[in-house]
Amino acid sequence: MKFFRREPPHRPPGDVDLDSLLALVADSRGYSCSFAPDGASLTLGGGRQIVVRLKGLRREAGRRAREDWPMLVSEHLANAVAAAGDRLDVCDLDQVGGLLRTRVEAVDDVPDLTRVVGRHLNGDLVELLTVAARPVRPEEAGCWPLPSGQALERATRNVREHERLAAEPMDLAGTPVIRLSGPSPSAATHLRWLGAYLPLPSDGVLVALPDARTLVVHPVEGIGVVRAIERLRLFAAREDGLSDQVYWWHGGRLTHLRADIVLHDGQARLVVSPPAEFAQVLARLAV
């Protein structure tokens, strides 16, 4: 077994320990390895040379408990080997900056939120940072010279500049709605500039998300909004897609409007339990 020769003692102990683990995992996979003098990368040898960037991995390891390090290192090396033939280096922001996009997923559908870069839209939905249609890993984003929050904002700008949703009027059992759909799974990102697609009332809009490429919206205007909640909730439940819930987009926030379908004497009815702020809107609209 080839043991890793430790760097000079001026390097942080955590870096030295992480390098020892990297060397051990590389050796177990049949690779030799040599580290760059500054510790920013290592080169795997053994048949072909593969350069593995380490800056982002070091940042991510610094945020995680040491018992997580073996998994982080093993996954990082496996991903580096798998991507060795790719021309696209996700760790290079100059290469991928223009390709950054967002993708909206249900929180329950993301296996491990610590292994992706994203932000919560609410308790049900998360907006993930992607490149080339796959989620960016924290150790990849950690290589970039800007925080993850700024990278998400850059991805949002890319979505706005390069993608546009198609608007189509629909009728849900007598309730008019607008269906907005596009080619990528980032439709909910467009809520931030929804006014570019339709007039926005001061009280916002109701939103259903049958899938990540689609928004179905209804303006919060008049007491008919209660019926619209029912129609959207039943529509979302039938679609069985991204979310079967109804949300309220207002003031830059996507708020869940709890609406439960309850069976009573063989009849299905909807029980709406709105948050206090939305309840006040309903009370005002009812006057």
Specify the 3-state DSSP secondary structure of 248: strand
Determine the pLDDT at residue 3. Answer: 44
Determine the pLDDT at residue 228. Answer: 94
Element counts in the chain: helices (H) and strands (E): 8, 14
257's tokens? 């409007």
Residue 5 lies in a domain: no
Determine the pLDDT at residue 116. Answer: 96
268's tokens? 């299905």
What does the alpha-carbon distance between residue 124 and residue 102 come to, in Å, rounded to a whole number? Answer: 16
Domain check: are 177 and 218 in the same one? Answer: yes
Question: Which amino acid, one-letter code, is at 270?
Answer: L
Q: What are the CA-CA distances from residue 92 to residues 40, 70, 144, 255 (Å)? A: 13, 25, 7, 36
Neighbours of 94 (CB within 10 A): 8
Residues spanned by the domain of 143: 93-162
What does the alpha-carbon distance between residue 14 and residue 7 come to, in Å, rounded to a whole number? Answer: 12
Determine the pLDDT at residue 1. Answer: 41
Angle between helices 69-82 and 13-28 (to 10 degrees): 60
Length of the chain: 287
What does the alpha-carbon distance between residue 129 and residue 148 come to, in Å, rounded to a whole number? Answer: 9
- φ, ψ (nearest 5 deg) of residue 136: -80, 135
Provide block-wise average pLDDT over 10 residues at a time, the chain (287 residues).
46 78 92 90 87 91 92 91 85 94 95 95 95 93 94 97 96 95 95 95 95 96 90 88 93 92 74 89 87
Domain check: are 245 and 178 in the same one? Answer: yes
Whole-model pTM: value is 0.84
Determine the pLDDT at residue 167. Answer: 96
Nearest CA-CA partner of 206 in 214, 195, 215: 215
Determine the pLDDT at residue 218. Answer: 97
Last residue of a domain, one of 39, 63, 82: 82
Determine the pLDDT at residue 14. Answer: 65
CA atoms within 13 A on the CB side of 99: 16
Determine the pLDDT at residue 11. Answer: 60
Residue 224 lies in a domain: yes
Determine the pLDDT at residue 13. Answer: 62
Domain check: are 105 and 128 in the same one? Answer: yes
In the chain, how many domains are there?
3
Residue 262 lies in a domain: yes
Domain check: are 158 and 197 in the same one? Answer: no
- Are 226 and 272 in contact, with CB atoms under 8 Å apart? yes
Domain check: are 282 and 176 in the same one? Answer: yes
Neighbours of 243 (CB within 10 A): 23
What does the alpha-carbon distance between residue 285 and residue 287 come to, in Å, rounded to a whole number? Answer: 6
Domain check: are 274 and 194 in the same one? Answer: yes
Determine the pLDDT at residue 95. Answer: 93
